[in-house]
Structure 1
Amino acid sequence: MAKILKGATAQETHSAILDLIRSSGTATRVELAQRSGLTAASISRVVKQLLADGLIVETGPGDPTGGKRATLLQFNPRARHAVGISIDTLSITYVITDMNGRVIEQLASRGIGRDTPATAIKRIVNELEDLIHKADVEPATLVGVGVALAGRQGAGESLLRSRANRYAWEPFAVMGKLSGAIEYPVVVENDSTCAAIGEFWAGRIPSVNDFATVYLAAGFGLGLVTNGDVYRGSSSNVGEIGHMVLDVKGPSCWCGGFGCLEALAAPARVVFLAGQDDGLVRDLGLHGRNSAIRADFAKIARGAVAGDQRCLALIEKSAWYLAKALLSITNLLDLSQIILAGPGFSEAGEIYARVASNELGRLSFVRAMHSTRVELSKLGPSAAALGAASLVLHSRLTPHQTSNRALTS
């Protein structure tokens, strides 16, 4: 932190100290000085301003140290609020969170299905207005709306997806429509990126801890947090782990490649393989339709957890492919923590975590120096929506760490 603050502007210093309080939960002025490398006088000036802005509060005395007990500082949770929206084919999830990332109001509604953005955004705006009214938050404290979507950033020209309406729902295609329809500042991000920043912000992970989040819904995505911000790459499209090639002679993928993780291990592949077993189809009541893939996958995952060996073999095969992808990523990036998030891990996430942990523990290049923890997200199935709200708070409250993903008014 001292290195970060060397030569920093006043705004960057305030932002960095606020982030120290976020990750600590509570901290004294003395602790902030020790962790930041700033003088006691500098910390006093920063804290005084943060108190005057209402962003932090004094909450009482800290632990006794032999002299006068220092005063604890923490976020003032009601000082700022943010909205997060996760837009998916099956459902739309809305949350309003306080500064700590705690949900104070939420709503789930039907997904976009085959709706175009022009059709669905009208409904989204109405549902958002109802949620804000229900939450009864001060309008001045609501700093923006974050939206999580699957797909690409940037003004791509070529159609990768086979269904044009899904292409229309990719983040780069939706940003302008949402910004024009919602009266608050808006940021639109990939759902895996949102899930990662949600873990960082609401999970109080310190900015010095680098980690990755794997998000599973219809496919796999990866969000990488380093130095207190998500790493986005040259066009904000980093983390397409679903299109990492694991078998050059494997099945074709919708992206145009062969043997991608998504083609080998995503819910659609698991359901396809289950469909080869007539007895399993009958026992689980699998539908086999494209519109029912997520529901069929959930049935298979529940069967695996319940001990059905046919289901367990399918889920473990999917988990093994994911583990192989994570092994390559860990060898490349030297990760010590990987978090599994998203609705795809809701039923059988423990199996995925176990298989990945075993594979990394057995084969990771750095296993003799440190382990790589693989754990399930504590944010639950709404990780993307919570992360979208966290992204707004992160952008507005700790701008010294955010890169170029600004909110659009």
Structure 2
Amino acid sequence: MAKILRGATAQETHSAILDLIRSSGTVTRVDLADRSGLTGASISRVVKRLLADGLIIETGYGDPTGGKRATLLQFNPRARHAIGIAVDTPSTTYVVTDMSGRVIEQVSSRGIGKDAPATAVQRITAELEDLIVKAEIEPSTLVGVGVALAGRQGRGGTRLLRTDSEKYAWEPFAVRDTLKDAIDHPIVVENDSTCAAIGEFWAGKIPSVNDFATVYMAAGFGLGLVTNGDVYRGSSSNVGEIGHMVLDVNGPQCWCGGQGCLESLAAPAAVVARAGQDETLADKLGLRGRRLSTRSDFAKIARLAAAGDPRCVELIEESATYLAKALLSITNLLDLNQIILAGPGFSEAGDIYVRVAAQELNRLSFVRAMHPTRVELSKLGPSAAALGAASLVLHTQLTPHQNTRS
């Protein structure tokens, strides 16, 4: 933290101290001075401003040390609010959170399905307005709206939306600009895996010195990387396409044009296709075999695997093994010590994915002799992308010293 604050502007200093309070839970002014490298006088000035803005509160006293007991400081969770929206094919999830990432209101509606993006955005705008009224939050405390999408970032802020209908259709659409025209609040649009990663960082109170990766599985796989307190976006905000890491040069064709990608081998569609080749299992599960039913078919397989059905366990373990191989390469490249699995794809049989990945990494990781690599399920649940989108708004608006977005 001290290095971050050398030569920092006043805004950056306030932002960094606020983030230090966020990740600490409760902290004293003396603690802030020790951890930041700033003088006690400088800390007092920053704290006074943050208290005046209502962003932090004084909450009792620290342990006695023989002198005057130090006042404890913490985030004021009710001071600001954010809205996160996860737009997906099966459903659209909306959350309203306070500054700590706690969910105040959550609703779901039908997903994008086969709707054109313009139609979907029009409906989302109307549902968003209803949500703000339902949550009963003061408009002045709403710092913005975050939107999580699956797809690539195009030029000029457009998104290439990916849907589950008709061979993963892609369509360039200026989501952010369209929403800006309809909503009188700051708008942030990001990839769902990036949102999930920043959600873990913000709502999970992870310190900015801890680097980690989040793997998000819905229709496919994405990876969000948090380093030095911000998500790493790459040169065009398209970092983290772990689903298109090639694992088998002679493997099946992937919809992206590649061959043997992780997604073609281990994503829900691949698991459902293999299950469908077993007529007895397909009948037992009632697999429908349609593209728009892939997620629900996969959930049936995963639920039965979690219950111990041998054939379904075999299918999920095969998918988990492919993912583990990809994570092994990522870990060897980035020297990760923490990987979080998030998203609806891990809801039913996430424990199997954790077990297989942890075994693989701690057996073969290049750095296993120096440190283990922890693999764990997200604590944010199936709504990780929506929660992350709200967290991204808070992160962007309240801690700009960490935000690399241009």
Shift in Å at residue 155 of structure 1? 1.9
Change (3 A) 1:26 1:166: farther
Change (3 A) 1:164 1:372: closer
Cα distance between partner residues in 1 of 2:44 and 2:328: 46
Change (3 A) 1:94 1:160: closer
> What is the aligned residue count?
403
* Gap runs ≥5 in structure 1: none
8 Å CA contact retained: 1:115, 1:165:
no
Residue 167 of structure 1: aligned partner: 170
**Amino acid aligned to 1:275:** G
- Per the normalisation by structure 2, the TM-score is 0.97
Is 1:177 aligned with 2:178? yes
Residue 390 of structure 1: aligned partner: 391
Write out aligned runs for 1:134-213 (5 A).
Answer: 134-155=134-155, 166-168=169-171, 173-213=174-214
Residue 309 of structure 1: aligned partner: 310
Shift in Å at residue 354 of structure 1? 0.4
Cα distance between partner residues in 2 of 1:150 and 1:159: 8
8 Å CA contact retained: 2:199, 2:391:
yes
Residue 33 of structure 1: aligned partner: 33
**Amino acid aligned to 2:351:** E
Residue 401 of structure 1: aligned partner: 402
Which digits, 9 at most, give the CA deviation of each residue in 1:44-99, with x for residues without a partner? Answer: 11000100111100011112222221111011111110000000000000001000
Shift in Å at residue 158 of structure 1? 12
Cα distance between partner residues in 2 of 1:299 and 1:317: 16
Is 1:78 aligned with 2:81? no
RMSD over equivalenced CA pairs, Å: 1.7
Q: Secondary structure at the match of 1:26?
A: coil
Q: Secondary structure at the match of 1:209?
A: coil
Residue 111 of structure 1: aligned partner: 111
Cα distance between partner residues in 1 of 2:215 and 2:161: 22
Residue 349 of structure 2: aligned partner: 348
Is 1:295 aligned with 2:266? no
Q: Secondary structure at the match of 1:255?
A: coil
Change (3 A) 1:163 1:290: closer
Write out aligned runs for 1:14-93 (5 A).
Answer: 14-93=14-93
Shift in Å at residue 128 of structure 1? 0.7
Residue 237 of structure 1: aligned partner: 238
Shift in Å at residue 159 of structure 1? 8.1
Which sits farther off after the overlay, 316-325 or 279-288? 279-288
**Amino acid aligned to 1:24:** S
Residue 125 of structure 1: aligned partner: 125
Shift in Å at residue 173 of structure 1? 3.5
Residue 3 of structure 2: aligned partner: 3
Q: Secondary structure at the match of 1:200?
A: helix
Which digits, 9 at most, give the CA deviation of each residue in 1:247-277, with x for residues without a partner? Answer: 0000000000000000000000000000010
Shift in Å at residue 122 of structure 1? 1.8
Shift in Å at residue 167 of structure 1? 1.9
**Amino acid aligned to 1:68:** K
Cα distance between partner residues in 2 of 1:99 and 1:8: 24
Write out aligned runs for 1:364-375 (5 A).
Answer: 364-375=365-376
8 Å CA contact retained: 1:270, 1:318:
yes
Q: Secondary structure at the match of 1:19?
A: helix
**Amino acid aligned to 2:227:** T
8 Å CA contact retained: 2:148, 2:191:
yes
**Amino acid aligned to 2:153:** Q
Which digits, 9 at most, give the CA deviation of each residue in 1:207-258, with x for residues without a partner? Answer: 0000000000000000000000000011110000000000000000000000
Cα distance between partner residues in 2 of 1:138 and 1:365: 51
8 Å CA contact retained: 2:151, 2:161:
no
Is 1:282 aligned with 2:283? yes
Change (3 A) 1:159 1:95: closer
Which sits farther off after the overlay, 159-168 or 252-261? 159-168
Shift in Å at residue 166 of structure 1? 4.0
Residue 251 of structure 2: aligned partner: 250
Cα distance between partner residues in 2 of 1:301 and 1:120: 30
Cα distance between partner residues in 2 of 1:166 and 1:198: 28
8 Å CA contact retained: 2:159, 2:175:
no
Which digits, 9 at most, give the CA deviation of each residue in 1:161-217, with x for residues without a partner? Answer: 79599423x6x6322222222221101000000000000000000000000000000
Shift in Å at residue 118 of structure 1? 1.6
Shift in Å at residue 12 of structure 1? 0.6
8 Å CA contact retained: 1:301, 1:311:
yes
Q: Secondary structure at the match of 1:258?
A: coil
Cα distance between partner residues in 1 of 2:4 and 2:169: 41
**Amino acid aligned to 2:212:** F
Cα distance between partner residues in 2 of 1:115 and 1:291: 13
Cα distance between partner residues in 1 of 2:159 and 2:204: 37
* Gap runs ≥5 in structure 2: none
Cα distance between partner residues in 2 of 1:209 and 1:179: 33
Cα distance between partner residues in 2 of 1:27 and 1:238: 35
**Amino acid aligned to 2:16:** A
8 Å CA contact retained: 2:151, 2:159:
no
**Amino acid aligned to 1:238:** V
8 Å CA contact retained: 1:62, 1:71:
yes
8 Å CA contact retained: 1:86, 1:384:
yes
Cα distance between partner residues in 2 of 1:388 and 1:196: 10
Which digits, 9 at most, give the CA deviation of each residue in 1:309-337, with x for residues without a partner? Answer: 00000000000000000000000000000
